[in-house]
Structure 1
Amino acid sequence: MTGMKTFWQALPTEGRWLLSTVAIQTLGRGMTLPFTIIYLHEVRGFDLGLSGALMSLIAVTGLLVTGPGGTLIDRYGAKRVLLVGLAAMIAGCTLLAFATHPAVAAVALVLIGVNFGVSWPGFNALIATVVDGEVRQQYFGVNFALVNLGIGVGGIIGGFFVDVHNPSTFTAIFLVDAVSTLIPMALLLGPLRRVRTQGDPEPGEAPVAGYRAILRQPAVLWLTLLTFISVFIGYGQMEAGFPAFARQVSEVSTRVVGLSFAVNTAVIVLLQFTVLRLISGRRRTRVMQVMALIWAVSWLLLGATGLLPDSLAAAIGVLAFMGVFAFGETMLQPTVPAIYNDLASDRNRGRYNAINSAAFQGGAITGPVAAGVLLGEGLSGWFIAVMVAGCVAICVLAIALERRVSPAANGVTADAAADGAAAGGAAAGGAAGAGAPGAGAPEAAGDASER
């Protein structure tokens, strides 16, 4: 509680406005997210394959919009771009609530995808403008926990409320989703109307770098690959690979699968701030390596449930998988967005966050495809092996990233970096006096600034 109070006091007024409404904003999304494909297939009567293709329009549209959205954010500011995206979200949810034809549903889902494509880079740019330093990393973590809380509670409410035999219940939740989108719009037009994300160029300053120049930076390239693989083996499996494995291989009930998502939300909400305290001031790349090891354990747990299908042990293992996986999530969300925004400047922050968003959406699109191929062919063992191999790849990429990213962007405080440099200099001087010039200096500096 003390840590939360200190964090809250460190936030500027704009940051408090943003954070205080997150859970309410996402409540409506939580009510619709788990039930959209059920609505399309069972309520509106669309073919299951067509319903799945319609659902993919959200991610595909988001991926296509993200790049131009990042450029527009840098040019016109996050506020204007977000308002357009939120308006598209309201129109999409309202249209979807009354969609009785696939073409109408397609238009609605494309509009929702437009918002998804610009909201990630837009809100991240807004957050990075309002808060900085260590508070920024904490903010991303707390924001993630509140998003999960809103979606989790919304999902529970939606599960009790919707009825496939009563289409009006689905119409109601999509309209609630549209109304909840008015909250961030009100913030942008009210308390946050003076927040300006785009930076003005200094006299004689070079033009802002485009996507090609940004991706040529080794740190950005390695970070983007790490993000893609993290999502591919992580979030990309939550709506496809994990449920399919749990049902087909572990043979647990749908109730257990549903309960596992509640466990995921609970672990994130309960542990996020504790994890933030533990990782504060430590190298973000090291935190990612720990996360990868935790995720490897979680996937091995899930794989073990396939050895005892349709049993209490399998059910417990599925729930344990989601709990352990959620623990790893609490380490990913505060670190990756913070590195992107510490590498960026106010003049290209939209583009950096768009690259982050594109990597995330790319993993979210390809992850289910890979899971479908492997599990569809009955290669459940290979599916788990690919997930664990992905965890190993994250560790390797994190090591490569650490060598190419600055200590500041890697979460090392200025004091820690200075202490490390001083320790390195002292070690080098001592070694030189002993007749071994420079011996041991890198190791000493590394030990002193390992955090």
Structure 2
Amino acid sequence: MRRIQAGSALSAFGLGFTVPYFYVYVAQVRDLGAATAGIVLAVFAMAALVVLPFSGRAIDRRGPVPVLLVASVLASVGAVAMGFASSVPAAVGAAVLLGAGTAVMQPALATMIVWCSAPAGRTRAFAMQFFLQNLGLGIGGLIGGLLVDTSRPGSFILLFSIEAAMFLVLAAVVGTVRMPGSPALQGTRPSEGAKGGGLRALLGHKAMVQLCVLGFVLFFACYGQFESGLAAYGTEAAGIQPSTLGIALAANTAVIVVAQFVVLRFVERRKRTRVIAAVGLIWAVAWMVAGYAGLGHGSQAMATAAFISTYALFGLGEAMLSPTVAPLVADLAPESMVGSYNSAFALVKQLALAVGPAVGGPMGAALHGPYIVTFVLFSLGITFLAVRLGRQLTPEQDQPSLAVKPSKVVARHEPARESETAAA
């Protein structure tokens, strides 16, 4: 588990070097124009949508390790190609490789975490992954900002090369992992059952379908707005300086890093669906604070503080979601379909991230009042859907702490010593 988490954090560290500067690199540094940059970003997202439906079956049949190794190498080649891309075809081709590779990594890593954890420990395991990934992204972005120079394409070649190297480091680390053979993992190993089921079985699972709908709304109302609708709203309605967007994103990451394990103590002993419902309420407040920033009549300093607070409140909600949603996907999955369920949920997330900017961007830039009202309602919809989902779950699925056995001694199967028996 430690190796998996370290590899995940290092890959996020590599992504942090390029994610904030992807658009600027294509549009300005390579001088391919804003339209081409938009096409490249769309291709990046579409590549993920194409490969994710197939990656789940591959994970269930072959196991997550070989799938992750292929995805890491693919992403590494895509990153290097992007660093040297000076034409539209080269940039589009690199985006295909990079998008496909990075998309498959997450369900493969999630499946490995499931294999290495019991249901009661998955909450903490996924919280640790989310914490380390955000920390890696933040540090990578910080260092990347010190290296980047828009007047020198060579500085971006360095950034993409570092990203490519981190993907290979992930492959090397994962390649050394020998999945444990604990009896507790018997139900999560690939089996002959992985050859059946598929999409029909998943769509017939009512609780999973409801969780996917909930997941789409979650990602649409939060991540799908960060770099599009909310950024447009902040600059157009609230008069926020572009540099403040970086401070707001830093506040979001800082809240996640600082609050993650404090929040975890609160989450572990409570029903998952109630925690998700609380996130909906927190995000509704966040959107209201954003409304004050853009539609209120306070000073510019107050508007800026309110806008940064919006991102911070989103971060608090994200810290509450990381130990609840991903483990719940794993716990709902049948024994031989863990990879398929993780990939299906990743596909839902990718769809939300594709639709979110397309809807939120124009609204945030021009329809300020309706934009805020719309996403306040979406946030309240999260609460409604979470409460509804709770009716479909078993008590142990909704609250894994109920399944924790009080004694750990029996599980070790160690014979008692004669002296200890006599003393007893």
Same fold (TM over 0.5): yes
Note the alpha carbon deviations across 1:140-185, whole angstroms, 9 max, x for none.
1111111111111111111121111111111100000000111211
* Cα distance in 2, alignment partners of residues 294 and 326 from structure 1: 10
- Out of 79, 82, 100, which is 1:93 matched to? 79
Aligned match of 1:31? 17
* Cα distance in 2, alignment partners of residues 177 and 383 from structure 1: 35
Amino acid at match of 1:324: L
Note the alpha carbon deviations across 1:234-285, whole angstroms, 9 max, x for none.
1001111111111111111122111111111111001001111111121100
- The change in CA–CA distance for 1:112 and 1:310 in structure 2 (over 3 A counts) is farther
Give aligned-pair identity as a percent: 31
Note the alpha carbon deviations across 1:74-117, whole angstroms, 9 max, x for none.
11111111111111111000001110001001110100111133
* Cα distance in 2, alignment partners of residues 211 and 280 from structure 1: 31
* Cα distance in 1, alignment partners of residues 126 and 316 from structure 2: 16
Confirm or deny that 1:372 pairs with 2:361. yes
Aligned match of 1:74? 60
Aligned match of 2:27? 41
Aligned match of 1:235? 223
Aligned match of 2:268? 280
Aligned match of 1:403? 391
Aligned match of 1:199? 190
Amino acid at match of 1:250: A
Displacement of 1:206: 9.5
Q: CA RMSD in A?
A: 2.0
Aligned match of 2:43? 57
* Cα distance in 1, alignment partners of residues 212 and 405 from structure 2: 25
- Out of 310, 318, 333, which is 2:307 matched to? 318
Amino acid at match of 1:161: L
* Cα distance in 2, alignment partners of residues 133 and 198 from structure 1: 14
Aligned match of 2:418? none
Displacement of 1:193: 6.5
Asked whether the 8 Å contact 1:76–1:198 carries over to 2, the reply is no
- Out of 134, 144, 160, which is 2:146 matched to? 160
* Cα distance in 2, alignment partners of residues 381 and 206 from structure 1: 49
Amino acid at match of 1:369: A
SS in 2 for 1:334: coil
Asked whether the 8 Å contact 2:4–2:109 carries over to 1, the reply is no
* Cα distance in 2, alignment partners of residues 216 and 331 from structure 1: 28
Asked whether the 8 Å contact 1:93–1:112 carries over to 2, the reply is yes
Aligned match of 2:409? none
Aligned match of 2:171? 185
Confirm or deny that 1:336 pairs with 2:336. no
Amino acid at match of 2:246: G
Aligned match of 1:357? 346
Amino acid at match of 1:321: T
- The change in CA–CA distance for 1:120 and 1:24 in structure 2 (over 3 A counts) is closer
Asked whether the 8 Å contact 2:230–2:361 carries over to 1, the reply is no
Confirm or deny that 1:107 pairs with 2:93. yes
Asked whether the 8 Å contact 1:342–1:408 carries over to 2, the reply is no
Aligned match of 1:434? none
| Mapping of residues 142-153 of structure 1, within 5 Å | 142-153=128-139
Confirm or deny that 1:294 pairs with 2:285. no
Amino acid at match of 2:167: T
Aligned match of 2:336? 347
Confirm or deny that 1:267 pairs with 2:258. no
SS in 2 for 1:281: coil
* Cα distance in 2, alignment partners of residues 415 and 177 from structure 1: 41
Displacement of 1:416: 8.8
Displacement of 1:51: 0.6
Asked whether the 8 Å contact 2:72–2:102 carries over to 1, the reply is no
SS in 1 for 2:240: coil
Amino acid at match of 2:238: S
Note the alpha carbon deviations across 1:385-410, whole angstroms, 9 max, x for none.
11111111111111111111112221
SS in 2 for 1:390: helix
SS in 2 for 1:191: coil
* Cα distance in 2, alignment partners of residues 191 and 417 from structure 1: 28
Q: Give the TM-score normalised by structure 1.
A: 0.85
* Cα distance in 1, alignment partners of residues 330 and 293 from structure 2: 39
Aligned match of 1:327? 316
Amino acid at match of 2:18: T
Asked whether the 8 Å contact 1:235–1:364 carries over to 2, the reply is yes
Aligned match of 1:173? 159
SS in 2 for 1:173: helix
- Out of 246, 249, 253, which is 2:241 matched to? 253
- The change in CA–CA distance for 1:417 and 1:25 in structure 2 (over 3 A counts) is closer
* Cα distance in 2, alignment partners of residues 391 and 298 from structure 1: 9
Note the alpha carbon deviations across 1:58-81, whole angstroms, 9 max, x for none.
111101110101011111111111
SS in 1 for 2:336: coil
Aligned match of 2:421? none
* Structure 1 stretches lacking a partner, 5+ long: 1-14, 419-451
Asked which structure has the greater RCO (Cα within 8 Å, sep 6+), the reply is 2
Displacement of 1:22: 3.5
- Out of 18, 22, 25, which is 2:4 matched to? 18
Aligned match of 2:293? 305
Displacement of 1:209: 1.6
Displacement of 1:24: 2.8
Amino acid at match of 1:305: A
* Cα distance in 1, alignment partners of residues 47 and 189 from structure 2: 25
- The change in CA–CA distance for 1:406 and 1:210 in structure 2 (over 3 A counts) is same
Displacement of 1:194: 6.9
SS in 2 for 1:62: helix
- Out of 70, 84, 88, which is 1:84 matched to? 70
Amino acid at match of 2:270: R
Amino acid at match of 2:100: V
Q: Give the TM-score normalised by structure 2.
A: 0.90
Asked whether the 8 Å contact 1:375–1:383 carries over to 2, the reply is yes
Asked whether the 8 Å contact 2:7–2:173 carries over to 1, the reply is no
Amino acid at match of 1:337: A
